[in-house]
Amino acid sequence: MEATDLPKHDFYDCYMIIVQGAKNVINACRECKVRQLIYNSSADVIFDGSHDIFNRDESFPCHWISADMLSDLKAQAEALVLYANNIGGLLTCALRPSNVFGPGDTQLVPFLVNLARSGWAKLIIGSGDNMSDFTYAENVTHAHICAAKSLDSQMISVAGKAFFITNLEPMKFQDFVSLILEGLGYQRPSIKVPARIVSYVLLVVEWMCEKLGSRKYNHDISARFFHLASCTRTFNCSAAQKYIGYSPVVSLEDGIRLTIESFSHLAKDSSFGRFLNFEDQSKAEKLLGSGKVSDILLWRDEKKTFTCFVALVLLFYWFLLSGKTFASSTANLLLLVTTILYGYANLPPKISSFNTPKISLSSFEISENSVRDSIMSIVCLWNRGHLTIRSLAQGEDWNKFFQVVLFLYFVKWILVESLAVAIGLALVFTFTAFFVYEQYESEIDGLTAMLFSLTKGLLTSYVPASMASFLQNKEYCGKRTARWLMMNEQHVDRNLLKLKYRIQAVHTQYASRFKFQNELYGDEMHPQKNKKNEVC
């Protein structure tokens, strides 16, 4: 079992499996007279969580207090195994592979895919120039075979020692991530973010998840990825080459290619990937309608979203911050657009080595469907307002009444205070709130539910007992009504499905009967067809 597959939040379980498990294996080897024990450690045992590592060899000491709990436990287990060497006839050594990847990886590649699906993999943490050593899984297996052979032939040089194992091809971590993501059809990292800001964000997210009791967020994996993406970690494998005769049997390029092929089901355009949990529509996407507006506000295409944001900011400044009236701002904007179009139309067809394509007249036309859709949207909005006013006049829907009151109060506050400030805040909120909510949907929902329950408790404690019981009964009736509607909807769906199957069965039965009669009687079943053939 790999250390990365263990429960990160339970120190006792991790200690019992890694450290106590190593003790149990050592004792079992002594009792059964096993001659060799090779421990699969990790190169992270010498990493302190902050400082870079440049081509370090086995003489560099382990850090017993590290940023990663699993690395600390691995270092303790490795020390136990090496200390047990040559006691009771047992020969031991340890291998320290760095950043193991390959088919069957349950951590690094799936984590990168999840980042790519959510859009975070486009960020480059720090400068992006940090180097890392990677090890293909088959090379780790080959290193164990080499170590087992060398424990007998070169006992003095190998027994009781630890050896770094890599692919001997250090490369930039962002290049490795780019090769994996591009091989699976995702966009490579392109936006640089300071490492210190990312570390602060991770601390805030961890604190929020601890307060909310969320189990979906794994801080250990995020911290490990942050250290990989921001720190240099390269190791010297000359000792493994010299004493155990290790050399990679699979190159880094071939290892990346084989890994991409093994994770083809996680590719962006694969049919299987569409049915994964992280590909389902988020609440933010459903709320925005899953259209062009959704793609823009959720930053599916950064260039398109940034262009729209800059255009709206310029319009905001032009109409509200320039100090001009709305009519003069509109007239100046139309004059500017007309001047630009006239100047572009008079440009020569070719300037130096650049072609200037002409704008077709159809670009200024508005289709009939677009006008019809706009009118239908206005009509639907008008009808919705009419229905809202009519329901308010009947005095039955209190929820809608409070919604309308809050909306009107908000509009009044905007008109009284500052319209420009309100629109500016709304613009920034629109381009950030939906994106942030999609990334931390479960945490925000948990926080909202907690605040709602606290607010509800405070309100019910201050209202009269009769009003509190009325609200509770109304909530209970609402839940029963929703449950009844859901059951009826499922019942209707089942009946429709049965009806569909019956229609298909009847259709198949009559089709087969007609085919049999047609084969039996031939053209006698179609007198009109025979008459038509005679005429022809």
Active site residues: 74
Distance CA 73, CA 69 (A): 6
* Cβ(128)–Cβ(189) below 8 Å: yes
DSSP state of 90: B
> What is the dihedral angle through the alpha carbons of 116, 120, 123, 124, rounded to the nearest 10 degrees?
-80
Question: Which residue in 302, 333, 320 sits closest to 119, CA to CA?
Answer: 302
DSSP state of 54: E
SS3 content of the chain, % helix, strand, coil (to 5): 65, 10, 25
Which residues make Cβ contacts (< 8 Å) with residue 154, sequence separation at least 6?
A: 243, 244
**Phi first, then psi: what are they for 282, rounded to 5°?**
-80, 170
Amino acid identity, position 390? R
Distance CA 448, CA 446 (A): 5
Distance CA 314, CA 333 (A): 11
CB atoms within 10 A of CB 455: 10
Tokens at 403, concatenated: 């919604």
* Cβ(90)–Cβ(32) below 8 Å: no
DSSP letters, 179-224, are HHHHHTT-PPP-EEE-HHHHHHHHHHHHHHHHHHT-SS--HHHHHH
